[in-house]
Chains A and B, each alone.
Chain A
């Protein structure tokens, strides 16, 4: 386990989510779940982030924002789609203004389904993302 997976900083973006999953993400920061145990910080800044946590099915208005934020995160980076809407579009999948999941706009590495997602599932998803982050870092080192 290298420093990359010991210090994952998150960027959380709400791409037209109902706020259900967003509340659960914030719940993970509270004393009950305390994700800072794993060195996780909620940065709110793409330039500092390693893991991009996206909720919601992505509509026409915010897909540009989503792409923009993704491009601003320096490599190695991992995208986690949180909630069923972010994973596949959920019940909104066929709506005329919904793209139908985060992976229709940017590549997604980990899917965490649920409506809304439970903090335990979310933490497990982030821990899975750490494995992917580690692989990407190794691939990046090998390329150098």
Chain B
């Protein structure tokens, strides 16, 4: 536990952006192949960030430097706390705070596309947070603790008790990987509205920071799948890869999902699968656990 307390966060700090960038590259190549194109090189996301880092520093409002830096630092901090095996509730609220800074950065620009992007990013937080809180509650009922460490050492993996919450998490991944809906997303794919949403007014280093933060965040969300398959590393690796591929398929099959459809469908999924799962666990908990 003590050594893991140091190794986990350091490994996250160094490896998460590398894996995050590579996965983004994979995503872009696979999406291109889906559309019968060759697509960019695998390392394209790294080239993009390196280029952005060396662009001229222009700001619509200089305060965006503080907000985008706070967004990146908070995401990294959240991930590192998560990697120590600390409180899952902390991770949930810290992520929401990090997103608040991204939203503030978009509002600071005081430009129409940026402002609508910020409003829709707020919607995104509103859709994702209930599912994350349900995840924390579900694991508390199973493991008796909010500590991620205790969730990971369960004898019977969480997926057995919380399949509904797992489905809700997979559903919200589409939103969190910035794929769907097209009128919130700031992905690199052509199917998007609002120019670039929250990042419309950000350029150069500010945009590079948001991009790197996104790699970290992607790894945080994908690693949440890991908790469901505690003690079975092989199974969790397969689940993460399958979930990621599924997201790419969903992205390409439903390129015209709007934010209204997203709010409705994800809240229904949260209510039916997430809350339903928790209620059933609450009623029959004694017999199951």
Given contacts A34-B39, A39-B47, 10 further A-B contacts (CB under 8 A): A3-B47, A3-B48, A4-B51, A6-B47, A7-B47, A37-B37, A39-B40, A47-B58, A47-B60, A137-B54
Q: Chain A 56-83 against B: per-residue CB contact (8 Å), 1 yes, 0 no?
A: 0000000000000000101110000000
Instruction: Tell whether B10 is near chain A: CB-to-CB under 8 Å.
Output: no
| CB pair B201 A37 closer than 8 Å | no
Chosen A-B contacts, 29 in total, with CB atoms closer than 8 Å, are A2-B50, A3-B47, A3-B50, A4-B51, A4-B54, A6-B47, A6-B51, A7-B48, A7-B51, A29-B190, A31-B35, A34-B37, A34-B38, A36-B39, A37-B40, A38-B40, A39-B41, A41-B188, A47-B60, A47-B201, A47-B202, A47-B203, A48-B199, A48-B203, A72-B58, A74-B55, A74-B203, A75-B56, A137-B54
By a CB distance below 8 angstroms, the chain B residues around A137 are: 54
| CB pair B51 A74 closer than 8 Å | no
By a CB distance below 8 angstroms, the chain B residues around A75 are: 55-56
Instruction: Tell whether A103 is near chain B: CB-to-CB under 8 Å.
Output: no
Query: CB < 8 Å: which of B51, B57, B58, B195 contacts A44?
Result: B195
Is the interface on chain B under 10, 10 to 19, 20 to 34, or 35 or more residues? 20 to 34
Residue of A nearest to B196 (CB): A45
By a CB distance below 8 angstroms, the chain A residues around B48 are: 3, 7, 39
Instruction: Report the separation of the CA atoms of residues A140 and B35 in the bound assembly, to the nearest whole angstrom.
Output: 38
Number of interface residues of A (CB under 8 A): 27
Instruction: Tell whether A43 is near chain B: CB-to-CB under 8 Å.
Output: yes
Residue of A nearest to B41 (CB): A39
